[in-house]
Amino acid sequence: MADRGIVAVFGSMNMDLSVACERMPRAGETVGGSGFITNAGGKGANQAVAAARMGARTCMIGAVGRDAFGDALVAGLRDAGVGVEFVARRDDVETGTATIIRCEGDNRIVLSPGANHALAGEDVACALKRLVADELDGDARELAPAAGSVFIVQGECDPMATAAALSCAHRLGFYTVFNPAPACGLPAEAWPAVDLICPNETECQVLTGILPKDDESCAAALNALLAKGAGAAVITLGGAGSVTLSDDGEPLRMPALSSTVVDTTAAGDTFIGALAAARLEGLPLFECMAAGARASAVTVSRLGAQQSIPTRAEVEHWFC
């Protein structure tokens, strides 16, 4: 490895097409909208940007089409300080898009994955091995372990590629973070490769059958996630903050920090990216959750996805 760890993200890159309306349209109905914006997004790219803006050395592994949206997404990552050498440009498929309707401080999203499903597990494994080897030629058996580095995946890429990537990263020594969003599971053999699973409450309910609404249900849900084989679990709860288990098995809550909610897009991604950056610094899990809470509080006070994600200096100024 290089002289310090890295946050490597395998995930989606989307162009977000976002519009606001006073209420959600009913079937067959057209309603007036305003505030249309296009914004670089995708859960993977958002998390990479968040980690980079928190000061972590960060690399994106993903794919876009050879089109104008793809050009813009790669340029945006590069401008945010994210390494893009492992972002593939594909001629056979378009760049992913997300159509977002903003209404009353919440949002609804329709995804078209496009190139986000173009990479296979071996493509990601090749990128990870090159990262570990500092892109020098060498036999994989000679690679130094990626101790101290973090690898993040979500649910917006090919499921089998995601599972294979987790297993490879875990073998190489990365601390692996699985954000099952949209809600998705893993093959049974892949769960032991997950060091941390971080769903929101809806995703948690899909995975465990338990909606985490109070301490008792939060504890049950967290234990159900651990029973799948993950090393640790954090559930994000929107305005109620996030929760994990203490050393004695009791729910340990990190409250959401106060801010005016303008747009919740990318709030969860900011939380995970900031958590990963804090992990890179060697902080314990609960302090990593606190870093995520601070960063996401700034994000929800702004409009958009990547454009709303703060830098470390902005977070420190906000909470000084």
Q: Which residues are annotated as a binding site?
A: 14-16, 42-46, 156, 200, 236-241, 263, 265, 268-269, 299, 302, 304, 308
CA 115 to chain centre: 17
What angle, rounded to 10 degrees, do the helices at 43-53 and 267-280 form? Answer: 50
CB crowding 19-44: b at 16 or more within 10 Å, else e: ebeeeeeeeeeeeeeeeebebbbbbb
Task: Say how many C-beta atoms besides its own lie within 10 A of residue 283's C-beta.
Answer: 15
Q: Which residues are catalytic?
A: 269
Residue whose C-alpha is closest to residue 252's, from 288, 276, 228: 288
Residue whose C-alpha is closest to residue 54's, from 316, 287, 252, 237: 316
The span from the CA of 20 to the CA of 31, in Å, is 10
- Known binding site for substrate: residues? 14-16, 42-46, 156, 269
DSSP 242-272: EEEE-TTS-EEEEPPPP---S--TTHHHHHH
Helices (H), the chain: 43-53, 68-79, 121-132, 159-172, 201-208, 215-227, 267-280, 285-299, 312-318
The sign of the torsion formed by the CA atoms of 50, 55, 56, 58 equals positive
- Known binding site for ATP: residues? 200, 236-241, 268-269
- Known binding site for K(+): residues? 263, 265, 299, 302, 304, 308
What is the DSSP secondary structure assignment for residue 143, as one 8-state letter? P
The span from the CA of 23 to the CA of 20, in Å, is 9
